[in-house]
């Protein structure tokens, strides 16, 4: 657990448990979402000094990095059933029998939060495993095709979105690759609930991996969310400043990952003449408050009931709640703890997280036997 979170919460709570290849048009910074602070909901924020409104000179050390090179393709996927035009980042496995890790980001982030992780997974797996990362509704470059955008981010809406996106990307489930579902924070709650629905649609799901999300810990953090949000900056003078804020506050501890992912979660202010900031968050986090409890309530039971191999990847053992502690002692799921990271563990240490996910994949991917030729004992 980060020091910032400990300082933001009470003592009682503290004790609880990045396409055809990307072109210049994809190198802009018009996608944006702010991270959702608080344990299980996103990283904590600290007061940002804005006493003077004099524009800061952008720091070149935090200049945005293009997503090119982290994924092979950027896809715009039409999902008429959900009135969405979805941005998805994809690197396909090199082999027909390969597996695809399907990644869902947390609230306020985008698919590019998995950019560095995707690069590591593809490299370490030598192309046997691909990665698909999506921008959810109201996130990144995903856009509504409805006359008026539906701002509903409730659990059922996001789960149905996720399922229909995969059905649009892989129309024939029988010919689709084996899927390994990976979700961070809110995304973990989505992929866990989507698993049984994908199985009903005859997709092969070898496993579900939830990254730093635990029901009990997240629910306990909710009363502290408003005070934490009050400490976040409302906007920034430049994308560089946004990247720098995420890095210097330990929200994202890997500057390279922050330089790739953060520009996708901010957008130019609608009216810079009247706004004190040139760049603001893509999604105001307070607008998601009605859905916080719904995302996480019942998550532990749903995770343990998933008919696939289960992995819980945490940034600290003290984040486990009682049901998961008991289930882990009974060997009902694989638990891994990544040291030296914060809530954005997959951005902070993509090498180690990729190694853990690939080991989980290799252990649980279905064994594929050659076609039967003769029965045992036949000449």
Cα distance from N-terminal residue to C-terminal residue, the chain: 62
Q: Do 184 and 211 form a contact (C-beta atoms < 8 A)?
A: yes
Catalytic residue among 185, 238, 257, 300: 185
112 neighbors 264 (Cβ within 8 angstroms): yes
For the question of residue 355 being annotated catalytic, the response is no
What's the CA gap between 224 and 230, in Å, rounded? 10
Told to judge if 246 belongs to the known catalytic residues of this protein, a careful annotator would answer: no
Cβ burial of 240 (10 Å; 0-12, 13-18, 19+) is buried
Alpha carbons 47 and 32: distance in angstroms, whole number = 21
Rg (CA), the chain: 20
Known active-site residue 255: no
C-beta of residue 206 within 8 angstroms of C-beta of residue 180: yes
**Contact assessment for residue 244 and residue 284, using Cβ atoms and an 8 Å cutoff:** no
**C-alpha to C-alpha distance for 251 and 245, rounded to whole angstroms:** 8
The structure tokens listed for 152 are 């509903």
Burial label for 310, CB within 10 Å (0-12, 13-18, 19+), is: buried
- Catalytic residue, candidates 104, 277, 343, 346: 343
Contacts of 41 (CB under 8 A, 6+ apart): 106, 107, 185, 186, 218, 221, 222, 225, 292
Contact 144, 83 (CB under 8 A): yes
Annotated catalytic residue within 212, 237, 349, 365: 212
Give the angle 119-123-124 at the CA atoms, nearest 5°. Answer: 115
Residues 18/112, Cβ–Cβ less than 8 Å: yes
Q: Crossing angle of helices 186-200/155-169, nearest 10°?
A: 60
> Which are the catalytic amino acids?
185, 212, 343
């Amino acid at each position: 657990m980060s020091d910032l979170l400990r300082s933001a919460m009470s003592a009682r709570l503290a004790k609880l448990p990045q396409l055809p290849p990307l072109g210049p048009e994809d190198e802009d910074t018009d996608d944006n979402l702010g991270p959702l602070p608080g344990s299980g909901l996103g990283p904590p924020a600290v007061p940002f000094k804005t006493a003077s409104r004099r524009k800061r000179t952008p720091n070149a050390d935090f200049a945005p990095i293009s997503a090119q090179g982290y994924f092979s393709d950027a896809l715009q996927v039409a999902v008429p059933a959900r009135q969405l035009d979805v941005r998805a980042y994809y690197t396909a496995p090199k082999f027909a029998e390969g597996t695809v890790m399907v990644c869902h980001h947390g609230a306020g982030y985008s698919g590019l939060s998995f950019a560095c992780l995707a690069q590591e997974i593809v490299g370490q797996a030598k192309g046997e495993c691909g990665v698909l990362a999506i921008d959810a509704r109201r996130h990144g470059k995903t856009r509504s095709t409805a006359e008026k955008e539906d701002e509903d981010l409730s659990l059922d809406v996001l789960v149905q979105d996720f399922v229909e996106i995969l059905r649009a990307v892989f129309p024939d489930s029988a010919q689709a690759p084996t899927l390994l579902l990976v979700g961070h924070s809110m995304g973990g709650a989505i992929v866990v609930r989507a698993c049984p629905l994908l199985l009903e649609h005859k997709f092969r799901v070898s496993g579900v991996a939830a990254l730093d999300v635990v029901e009990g810990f997240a629910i306990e953090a909710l009363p502290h969310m408003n005070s934490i949000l009050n400490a976040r900056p409302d906007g920034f003078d430049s994308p560089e400043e946004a990247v720098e804020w995420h890095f210097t506050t330990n929200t994202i501890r890997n500057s390279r990952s922050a330089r790739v992912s953060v520009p996708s979660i901010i957008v130019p202010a609608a009216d810079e003449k009247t706004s004190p900031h040139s760049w603001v968050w893509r999604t105001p986090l307070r607008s998601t408050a009605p859905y916080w409890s719904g995302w996480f309530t019942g998550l532990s039971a749903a995770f343990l009931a998933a008919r696939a191999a289960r992995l819980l990847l945490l940034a600290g053992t003290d984040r486990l709640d009682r049901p998961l502690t008991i289930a882990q002692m009974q060997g009902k799921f694989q638990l891994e703890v990544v040291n030296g990271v914060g809530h954005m563990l997959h951005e902070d240490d993509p090498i180690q997280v990729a190694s853990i996910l690939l080991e989980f994949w290799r252990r649980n991917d279905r064994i594929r036997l050659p076609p039967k030729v003769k029965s045992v004992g036949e000449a």
